[in-house]
Amino acid sequence: MRNVAVFGATGSIGGSTLDVIARHPQRFRASVLAAHRASEALAALCERFVPDLAIIADPALEADLRARLTRAGLATRVASGPEALAEAAASSLCDTVVAAIVGAAGLESTLAAARAGKRLLLANKEAIVMAGPLLLAALREGGGELLPVDSEHNALFQALPPAAATRREALAASGVRKLILTASGGPFRGRTRAELAGITPEQAVAHPNWRMGRKISVDSATLMNKGLEVIEAHFLFDAAPDAIDVVVHPQSIVHSLVEYADGSVLAQLGNPDMRTALAYGLAWPERVDAGVPPLDLVALARLDFQPPDLDTFRCLALAYAALRRGGTAPAVLNAANEVAVAAFLDGQLPFLAIAEIIEACLDKIPAEPVTDLAQLIQTDLTARAAAQRMMRRLHC
């Protein structure tokens, strides 16, 4: 029986995780559930899954959550605050942690799970983008295992030889030439820059193939999601920037591909449903039913591939640039993006200005070699403040 802590339980990935867990009560148990402020939704999940511990990240809502659980007659303990997340990630309450908090807020609990040697199902790509070298060091120190559940990286993990997927062996030694990430292209694929000028938040979050949280949906619309994923692939599989390609594939059926020296290309295919990757991570190295309907190739009939438009969707080019610059540059990219996307979702910033703000922050803040968590938290704060200043100057 795996005891699973689900951080971000009330979100899109959290919901898909709990759906898989509920299908296999003899294998998996949700022992810790955590959310940010959605105390009512978290209480409802506690009634259904009866975890040992429920964490509400905002301490102002701890009393509210406790009252709800008491009214429901549950013995589930309640904790609050970011420290409670890191503490639970490292505790004996769980052997598996699903890192599905959105943004930099997930970093410390992700690091804590890695350091404690847990099985870490990583959805929170912002954590590895910000702090790749620290996360890898924490994994080495803890001796646990990272199972990528971002669908592209899960596909790569499946298509790579096990020794390369888990970094026991260099990619070149496994005969790998390229990692090819697929991108749906988002809701604005094929549009020109001029056509993107008046995009509203509601248009940006309407993804054609995936139902996701609002922040990652905007990232998909700008192609920053793919940019973050290029950086994620670099750290996960120790791949040089030039060995990571992006191809647009509007149907989101081929989740990513590995090209080998002999000309073979191995891909992982499936319906666009995150439960496949989550079930893979939970059950690995076994396979279990994820509730995902079988892929009907004949009904699909065709799969299309196109090059990404880096001039219109500049965020992808900016992410490659930050990766090449290295050090703290990806943390700057991530923080500026979080601030700009939040402002866009708030109606405070035009869609096209998201890339402008990020580019200006990358130009302004010099990259330094990564040393420790305190430095990265400081970099994150510096970049957020710079992004706010630039937004005031440019647009707000």
User: CA 13 to CA 4: how far, in whole Å?
Assistant: 14
Q: Which is nearer to Mg ion, 53 or 224 (CB)?
A: 224
Residue 330 binds which entry of ligand NAD, Mg ion, none, with Cβ cut-offs from 5 to 8 Å by kind? none
Output the smallest distance, CB 16 to ligand NAD, in A. 7
Dihedral over Cα of 341, 120, 179, 266: its sign: negative
Which partner, ligand NAD, Mg ion, none, binds residue 124 by CB below 5 to 8 Å per kind?
ligand NAD
At its nearest, how many Å lie between ligand NAD and the CB of residue 213?
Answer: 2
Residues that bind ligand NAD (CB under 6 A): 8-14, 35-36, 38, 57, 100-102, 105, 123-126, 150, 210, 212-213, 216, 274
100 binds, among Mg ion, ligand NAD, none (CB under 5 to 8 A by kind): ligand NAD
Q: In angstroms, what is the minimal distance from the CB of 17 to ligand NAD?
A: 9
Partner interacting with residue 316 (select from ligand NAD, Mg ion, none; CB below 5-8 Å by kind) = none
| Distance of closest approach, residue 167 Cβ to ligand NAD, in angstroms | 20
Identify which of residues 9 and 290 has a Cβ nearer to ligand NAD in the complex.
9
Pick what 80 binds: ligand NAD, Mg ion, none; C-beta below 5 to 8 Å, kind-dependent: none
**Least distance in angstroms from the C-beta of 183 to Mg ion:** 9
Nearest to Mg ion of 272, 350 (CB atom):
272
| Between 107 and 176, CB nearer to ligand NAD | 107
CB of 244 to Mg ion, least distance (A): 14
Task: Name which of 65 and 231 has its Cβ closer to Mg ion.
Answer: 231
Of 212-251, binders to Mg ion (CB under 5 A) are none
Q: Which does 101 bind (CB under 5 to 8 A by kind): Mg ion, ligand NAD, none?
A: ligand NAD
Q: 142 or 227, CB closer to Mg ion?
A: 227
Nearer to ligand NAD, 13 or 131 (CB): 13
Least distance (Å) between residue 251 CB and Mg ion = 15
HEC profile for the chain?
A: CEEEEEECCCCHHHHHHHHHHHHCCCCEEEEEEEECCCHHHHHHHHHHHCCCEEEECCHHHHHHHHHHHHHCCCCCEEEECHHHHHHHHHCCCCCEEEECCCCHHHHHHHHHHHHCCCEEEECCHHHHHHHHHHHHHHHHHHCCEEEECCHHHHHHHHHCCHHHHCCCCCCHHHCEEEEEEEECCCCCCCCCHHHHCCCCHHHHCCCCCCCCCHHHHHHHHHCHHHHHHHHHHHHHHCCCHHHEEEEECCCCCEEEEEEECCCCEEEEECCCCCHHHHHHHHHCCCCCCCCCCCCCHHHHCCCCCECCCCCCCHHHHHHHHHHHHCCCHHHHHHHHHHHHHHHHHCCCCCCCHHHHHHHHHHHHCCCCCCCCHHHHHHHHHHHHHHHHHHHHHHCC
Q: Which residue number, 10 or 96, has a Cβ lying nearer to ligand NAD?
A: 10
d(CA 252, CA 271): 8
- Decide which of Mg ion, ligand NAD, none touches 62; Cβ closer than 5 to 8 Å per partner kind: none
From the list Mg ion, ligand NAD, none, partner contacted by residue 260 (C-beta under 5 to 8 A by kind): none
Site string for Mg ion, 137-166 (x = CB under 5 A): -------------xxx--------------
Closest CA to 41 of 76, 77, 22, 68: 68
